[in-house]
Chain A
Amino acid sequence: MRITQNIVYDTILQDIMFNYRRLSQLQKELATGKKIEYPSDDPVGTVKVGEFNTSIGEIGQYNKNIDSANSWMNYTDNALDEVGKIMQRVREITIYGADGALSTVDRNALADEVDELRKHLLQTANTEYNGHYIFAGRKTTTKPFAFNGADEDVYMGDDGEIEREVQKGEKVVVNITGIQAFMPSKVRYSVESDEFPALTTFGPGTITVKVGQQVALVGVPAAATLEDIANAFNNMAGDLLEAEVVDGSVAGTKKLVITTKSPYKISFSDTVGNVASSTGLTTNTQTKVYKDKLDVFEILKNISDNLRRNEVSSLSGIRLEEIDEYMDNLLEMRAHLGARIKRLNTTKNHAEDKKVNLTDLLSKTEDIDIEDVIMNLNTLQSVYRASLASGARIMQMSLMNYMK
């Protein structure tokens, strides 16, 4: 093979340039700390970097959403806590006001306090968070509770739910509407008997009914139709429950529906005879039903009225029951809210873990391994130096050096 000087020069130059290019590539990696500058440097890596970045950004945004949801819900919880304290005080006043020994002046003073508490409650119901009314449903820019002329509080909001996206495709309701918080439905339990042809008769017998802690005995006459049984329930346990006869699902059949008047479960047993078991009341499942509204503002207004009118029995009876029922409702609501907050925190913790993992993966894909690059840089430097040195030496050699 014939080699000319130009081939040698060319080859040397090419090798030096190649080494220098690799050196400058490593230098760039060191300076930026990144492996990928253009998609062609690592097409798969580029896509991964994009996906990781998007996922990390998403998790950051979901965490922001969770924080926003959490602070909204904590704010709601604080407001409900305040409501609880108010109602606790109202309960004390109601029990105290029901004491027959109190004078009219004392009761009026108590009524004034209840009125003040009611105003305070109204303020709480109109709580704003970050410029939004939290109990107004979706109408967050409308003051949810307002006095109308007739001394009644009217709800101006709606029953809309406000959701936050806390994970891909998963939404959580963050708000409690004014209706849920201040005008909840009463919870009742209902049991249905089996269905019987209209003229089927039962009895005689006696049924023991228990609603919560209260017990009543219901005597059923001989040859009683479902109507007769309903009447017996209404007559003998009317303050605990309500009974009615409705059409069954099959034409010509009837069934008995018994609904409690307080938010407690109901149970039946046959003391004499077998009316309760033969009608199926003892075995059929009871369902939770919602009836009427428990308007807390109206309760307070009624208490104030009762106090001013010295209606002691109402205070100790129906009002106290209403307060207790409302407070049960409140507690249940707060328990739900607490559970939701806890769940969000768990979600957030998971998300944070995932974010750490993704950030790690991103760094592995995108960032250089400094030790590795510096090692390579050193190796390459030696190679580069060697190519320069050998090149310089070879280029100097020529026949001319030896000819005079």
Chain B
Amino acid sequence: MRSTFFGIEIGARSLYTQRMALETTGHNIANANTPGYSRQRVDMGTTDPFTVPSFERPATPGQIGTGVQVEQIRRLRNFFLDLRYRQESSTLGKWDAISEGLREVELFIGEPSDTGVRSALDKFWASLEELANEPESRAVRESVREKTEVLVSAIKHVANSLQSYRDDINNEVKMRVDEINSLIRQISNLNVEIIKVEGTGDNANDLRDRQNYLVEKLAKLIDIDVKENPGKGIVVSTDGFDLVRGIKHHEFVVHQNPGNDGYYEVRWDIDDFPVSSDVSVVTAVVSPDAAQRFHTVEVFQLANELSHKVGDSTVASIASPNVTLAALGWLGKNEMGVFGIKVGDNPEVEITVTGEDTLQTVANKINAAYNNSNVSSSPDISENWVEAQVEESVTGNYYLTVKSNKPGESHGMTITDHISDIAYRLGLIDATGNTNDIDTPQDAIFRIDGVDYRSAYNRIEKAINQSTGEEETITPGVIYTLTGVGSASVSAKRVVENGKLYGLLKVRDSIIPYYMEQLDDLAYTLINEMNAQHRAGYGLGDTDRDVNGINLFEPLSVNKPYGAAKEISINSQIEEDLNKIAAATGDGYGHSAGDGDNQNALKLTELKHRGIMSGGTTTFSDFFESLLSRLGVDSEEAKKNNENQETMVKQIDHKRQETSGVSLDEEMANIVKFQRVYEASARFITVQDSIINRIINGMGLVGR
């Protein structure tokens, strides 16, 4: 038998349920603009009907409905789209960082313009042409100096801007890692709360939305996998490593890598492997593109990065660089002496001197043998030649030094006397024919992954394979810097493979270094080729027309490409004395051919059209153009990828919004729907009330 108040109970249940639905609608409207929010719906269901089957069930027909109840409050979400959204936004994060990075590089290189490196190069060559037109003019020499300085500062400006941009990116890496760690902590904290809420059987709708939103922010930064671990919240992992599992979490840590200018390397806190197991043996820069593996490194000997330099300050007491060899008693006045200089495996170059020569003219003759059609097997690549200088010892003696242009044992010199023992007298070789070394080059000898290598420098990407004798890239994407003798291992391993953080690391360790390396190559070749040709020529005026061997650019502290673009500067001697700009060639006797001679200036301008870059195939301008074209293509591609990816992420998001988004029209309609039911239910209770009223107040009063 049903209770008298049964109807009131049905009405009350309905009122309660409709109100909850109305309130949820209000919650939806309130959160229409909340990022990550998914609309919620109150699932309504009938309450258990009356009666339940049993022996004692009343003998009334049934079952009769007992009203409505809230079954659950559910959020509407397409979980498959969430997965895609996360994946695509990782890729978007990557392209975002890369396209931004390339854009900045474009800004720094500043081409096409009238102020960039390319136009500075053009003006530099033009000033040398002017020098060839008027080698005697001070004004023209002034302009050569100015244009050289403009070129130098253009190259330096780009190099320094790129460097400081790398520093900025490095700071951003640190910031992003902090952000990632904060996200990981928040996600993990939400797991705790979600586990509590859902343990009671409720749906943690809003907490889940909030957590999902944080996960999506994280997905933009790094590549992650997200799995539901029933009853224990979600598991967030990257590359198989759990960042968040239930209530536990792991964070990223950063370490400054001494091999990579002290920039931050990103690691997991419990798998905190170093790039190099022993930084006193080797440090390394690992590009994000390098294959993941460990490399064993054994260093047997470090390179001293010196060029071979010979000479002997004590060979004889020579009070002035202008004493003739005849006056020293080394040669008869008209007697001839010949010695040969051989650099590495290159053909020997013969230097002929006479009794009339002085230390200075001997040095001049050696310098002037560069790119000189009158000298047999004359070298025309700077690294195959030498630099001769007259130096003063501490005791005031003058002596001749000869220095190879390129560091390393493969560019060591062999000096041989052919006629008269003049090289011996000059102190270049000893009585047994060995060179008197001031600086002896020493190569680095090392073994990486079981292969023996040798290299003139300690910072290496390529080295000579000892068994094949060929130069080869040791490990693609890894630049080693040898720091001491011993053995160590280098781990080419990375913790992120996608997302903004990966993009930043790629910009920092792969993209910017590439353009810096190109610029270094340009500066290095410019310095060495121009210097060698400039040293072969003579200056202007009474003092300078008898001296050559002056560099146009200040020589690098260590003659290697790495860092050349930041170090390039005009030779201070030229800055102080314009007469030292060497427009004139030699007369064959160790003196200038005349103040009006422009042959060396013409040879300097010829370097413009000579293929000396990229292993002797490209001119300076073409080299720079191809750098620009690569930058343009790369940047364009990154920009397109970024745009496409952005569109795709937007589309997926819209698709998601189709399910999860709050439609105001719909909510308005729902308000009306629930309100009306609420009103009707209220009326139903009124009816019930009046029925009961009738029973209580109007029943059993027949005839009253």
- What is the bound-complex CA distance between A162 and B132, given in angstroms? 9
A139 interface residue per 8 A CB criterion: yes
Is B575 positioned at the interface, with any CB of A under 8 Å from its CB? Answer: no
Inter-chain CA distance A14–B643, complex, in Å, is 12
Chain A, residues 37-64, CB within 8 Å of chain B (1/0): the string is 0111111101101110110011011101
With A and B bound together, what is the CA distance between A374 and B454 in angstroms? Answer: 63
- Indicate if B71 sits at the interface (CB-CB under 8 A): no
Contact, CB under 8 Å: B602 / A169: no
CB <8 Å contact, A6 and B668: no
Q: A65: which B residues are within 8 A, CB to CB?
A: 129, 132-133
Residue in B106, B112, B595, B668 whose CB lies within 8 Å of A49: B112
A4 is contacted by which of B609, B662, B669 (Cβ under 8 Å)? B662
Cβ of A41: which chain B residues have Cβ within 8 Å of it? 632, 636
Instruction: Give the complex CA separation of A136 and B597 in angstroms.
Output: 11
Kindly provide the distance from the CB of A20 to the nearest chain B CB, expressed in whole angstroms.
16
Interchain CB contact under 8 A, A168 and B629: no
A43-B632, A47-B629, A50-B112 as given contacts; A64 in contact with B130, CB under 8 Å: yes
B658 touches A3 (CB 8 A): yes
A38 near B103 with CB under 8 A, answer yes
| Residue in A40, A64, A403 whose beta carbon sits within 8 Å of that of B133 in the complex | A64
Interface members, chain B 117-131 (any A CB < 8 Å): 118-119, 122-123, 125-126, 129-130
The answer to whether A14 and B106 touch (CB under 8 A), given A68-B133, A158-B593, is no
Does any Cβ of A come within 8 Å of B289's Cβ?
no
Chain B residues within an 8 Å CB radius of A10? 650, 654
Identify which of residues 285-344 in chain A touch chain B, using a CB-to-CB cut-off of 8 Å: none
Closest chain-A Cβ to B495's Cβ sits at a distance in Å of 30
From B106, B112, B629, B665, give the contact of A399 (CB < 8 A): B665
Q: By the criterion CB–CB under 8 Å, are B650 and A14 in contact?
A: yes
Interchain CB contact (< 8 A) of A2 among B133, B633, B659 = B659
B315 part of interface (Cβ distance < 8 Å) = no
Interface residues on chain B, number (Cβ under 8 Å): 60
Q: Report whether B112 and A158 are in contact in the complex, using a CB–CB cutoff of 8 Å.
A: no
Given contacts A6-B661, A68-B133, A165-B132, contact A139 B595 (CB under 8 A): yes
Query: How far, in angstroms, from A166 to B453 measured CA to CA in the complex?
Result: 49
CB of B657 closer than 8 Å to a CB of A: yes
The residue that A140 contacts in the complex, of B103, B130, B594, with Cβ under 8 A, is: B594
Give chain B nearest CB distance to A378 CB in angstroms.
25
| Cβ contact within 8 Å between B136 and A42 | no
Q: Tell me if B659 and A366 are in contact (CB < 8 A).
A: no
A130 at the interface (CB under 8 A from B): yes
A40 CB contacts on chain B under 8 angstroms: 102-103, 106, 631-636, 639
Report yes or no: A5 in contact with B629, Cβ–Cβ below 8 A.
Answer: no
* Chain B, Cβ-Cβ closest to A6: B661
Other-chain residue from A7, A44, A64 in contact with B629 (beta carbon distance below 8 A): A44
Roughly how many angstroms separate A400 CA and B626 CA in the complex, as a whole number? 61
Q: Does B32 contact A (CB under 8 A)?
A: yes
Count CB-based A-B contacts (< 8 Å): 178
User: Interface extent on A, as a size class?
Assistant: 35 or more
Mark contacts of B575-598 with chain A using CB atoms, 8 A cut-off: 1 yes-contact digit, 0 otherwise: 000000000100000000111111
Q: Is there an interface contact between B605 and A165, defined as CB atoms closer than 8 Å?
A: yes
The yes or no answer to A132 lying at the interface (CB within 8 A) is yes
Inter-subunit contact B594/A137 (CB<8 Å): yes
CB-CB under 8 A from B666, the residues of chain A are: 4
B145 nearest CB across to chain A (Å) = 18
Partner of B654, one of A7, A132, A366: A7
Chain A CB within 8 A of B134 CB: yes
- Residues of A within 8 Å of B658, CB to CB, are 1-4, 7
**Contact of B664 with A398 in the complex, beta carbons under 8 Å:** yes
Answer yes or no: B483 CB below 8 A from chain A CBs: no
Q: Name the CB-closest residue of A to B135.
A: A140
Contact B602 A163 (CB under 8 A): yes
Q: Considering the chains assembled together, what is the distance between the CA atoms of A239 and B633 in angstroms? A: 81
Q: Is A350 an interface residue (CB 8 A)?
A: no
Residue from the list A6, A61, A171 in contact with B126, Cβ < 8 A: A61
Q: CB distance A158 to B594 under 8 Å?
A: yes
A138–B602 Cα distance when bound, in Å, is 14
| A46-B632, A164-B132, A171-B602 as given contacts; A399 in contact with B596, CB under 8 Å | no
Given contacts A54-B621, A162-B596, contact A36 B662 (CB under 8 A): no
Interchain CA distance A141-B133 in the complex, whole Å: 15
Q: Is residue A131 within 8 Å, beta carbon to beta carbon, of the partner chain?
A: yes
Distance in Å: Cβ of A98 to nearest Cβ of chain B: 41
Q: A160 at the A/B interface (Cβ < 8 Å)?
A: yes
B443 to chain A, nearest CB (A): 39
Instruction: Check B628 for interface membership: any CB of A closer than 8 A.
Output: yes
Q: Which of A3, A46, A53, A403 is B122 in contact with, Cβ under 8 Å?
A: A53
Contact A39 B631 (CB under 8 A): yes
How far is A399 from B670 in the complex, measured between Cα atoms in Å?
A: 12
User: Can you list the 10 inter-chain pairs with the closest CB atoms, starting with the nearest?
Assistant: A140-B596, A43-B632, A39-B632, A138-B594, A4-B661, A40-B635, A138-B597, A139-B594, A40-B636, A141-B595
Q: Would you list 13 pairs from A and B whose C-beta atoms are within 8 A, ordered by A residue?
A: A2-B661, A2-B663, A5-B663, A10-B654, A38-B103, A40-B639, A50-B628, A68-B133, A141-B594, A141-B595, A171-B602, A399-B665, A400-B668
Chain A residues engaging chain B, CB cutoff 8 angstroms: 1-7, 10-11, 14, 36, 38-44, 46-47, 49-51, 53-54, 57-58, 60-62, 64-65, 68, 130-132, 136-142, 158, 160, 162-165, 168-169, 171, 366, 398-400, 403
* Extra A-B contacts (5), CB below 8 Å, given A47-B628, A160-B597: A40-B632, A47-B629, A132-B136, A366-B112, A399-B669
